[in-house]
Amino acid sequence: MDFEKDKLEESLANLMSNAIKFTPVGGDVFVSVRQLSSRKTSERKVEISVRDTGIGISEDKLDKIFIRFYQVEDNSFPGREGTGIGLTLVNEYVKLMRGTIEVKSSPGIGSEFIVTLPVTNSAAPEEFVAGDERVTLTKAETGAGHEADGSISGHPLLLIIEDNAELTDYLIRLLGNDYRVLTAENGIYGVELAIEHIPDIILSDVMMPGKDGYQVCRDLKNDFRTSHIPIVFLTARADAGSRLEGVKQGADAWLTKPFNRKELMICLHNLLVQREVLRLKYTGAVSGSPVDEKETGLNEKFLERVTGHLEENYRNDRYGIDDLRADLGVSRIQLHRKLTALTGQSASNFIRNFRLQKARKLLLESGRHVSEIAYEVGFRDANYFSRSFIQEFGMNATKLREMFIR
């Protein structure tokens, strides 16, 4: 039978989860499968039923349960509210598999969800792919954050800070093909993960226990390690006062629930494009030129500190990444991702290019030998200096000097 395994499994998991969630202790949940066939046609179908003896749903609400974010209000099971995404997802998956879903329910008696799918045998045999690169990374130190399965290396790193696991799972499914996804279940762990991993962009709820979205935004925007990261609030709070508070704390965008999927994806994409503009703004710092004194933001101050330490130590051929990150008080990954975000260069390339710019300046301002200048700016290997110089400027040092000094 030709079914999309992942979609079918997820649909059944959602239906059974709902049935269990809203069935009291001592109640029953039944799952049955049967094949349907027609004598008039060769068409075959399979019918899957998930039935429970739970609280049931009133008739006036049955036509709304597949609407995203709609939740049936019932006080019989406090603390078991969902996000209103599960049934919407089931409905969408069933439609994609060219099937139908029907619901029968009576308050106090229970509910039955019936999924009917066409049966064909036209698909090619499924291939087994060995060595799948997609892995799950768990933050063992806290057990709070993980990089979601399905992440693709090289894609932007997105941190989702959300205390509702069902909504988090939905966002992972929605965005997992375009982003490496890191998740945190509350604001406290979210700040920790942001500082540790330096994501490219953050999607955060506002109302969370421990530390709300406003506090998360304020903490990260006032930390030089994370001040450059765009933060998008995704929340049910749509009033003007809440939006203004978000802007005040430094949020880059605000989307309200229920949200439009395309709007969310476009919003994230546009913020990353804007960050590319930010990179162009700061790329000049590698030349060693002073940062404009009028610029007082944390990003400018960070680059000013970086170039200040390099200015003091570039002649020392042993001064490298570990020395720079120690002087700055950051980890290697924090230094790497911060510099990459601001300048598009890794920490090692930033240091190397800083030295090369110093070498270029000496070449044009003095008549000293090329190898002497290489050692002066911290290159121990003259051949490596030559290769690096050509890679950076498109010609060797001697030719560059001849072009500008005639």
Half-sphere exposure of 72 (CA within 13 A, CB side): 22
3 confidence band (pLDDT: 50, 70, 90): low
Q: Where are the domains of the chain?
A: 5-119, 140-279, 288-404
The model's pLDDT over 353-395, given as tens digits with 9 standing for 90+, comes to: 999 999 999 988 888 899 999 999 999 888 899 999 998 888 9
The model's pLDDT over 262-298, given as tens digits with 9 standing for 90+, comes to: 888 888 988 888 777 666 666 654 444 444 443 447 8
pLDDT of residue 73: 55
Is 5-119's fold the same as 288-404's? Answer: no
* Average pLDDT of every residue of the chain: 79
Instruction: Determine whether 144 is exposed, middle or buried from the number of CB atoms within 10 Å of its CB (0-12, 13-18, 19+).
Output: middle
Kindly tell me if the per-residue pLDDT of 137 is higher than 80.
no
The model's pLDDT over 330-349, given as tens digits with 9 standing for 90+, comes to: 888 889 888 888 888 888 98
Query: In what helix (H) or strand (E) does residue 234 lie, and over which residues does it extend?
Result: strand 231-235
The model's pLDDT over 141-168, given as tens digits with 9 standing for 90+, comes to: 333 444 444 334 468 899 999 988 888 8
For domain 288-404, the CATH architecture is Orthogonal Bundle (1.10)
Superfamily of segment(s) 140-279: Response regulator (3.40.50.2300)
Distance CA 233, CA 243 (A): 9
For domain 5-119, the CATH architecture is 2-Layer Sandwich (3.30)
First and final C-alpha spacing in the chain = 78
pTM over 0.85, yes/no: no
Distance CA 311, CA 197 (A): 27
Half-sphere exposure of 372 (CA within 13 A, CB side): 6
47 confidence band (pLDDT: 50, 70, 90): very high
205: which DSSP letter?
-
Q: What percent of the chain has pLDDT over 90?
A: 30
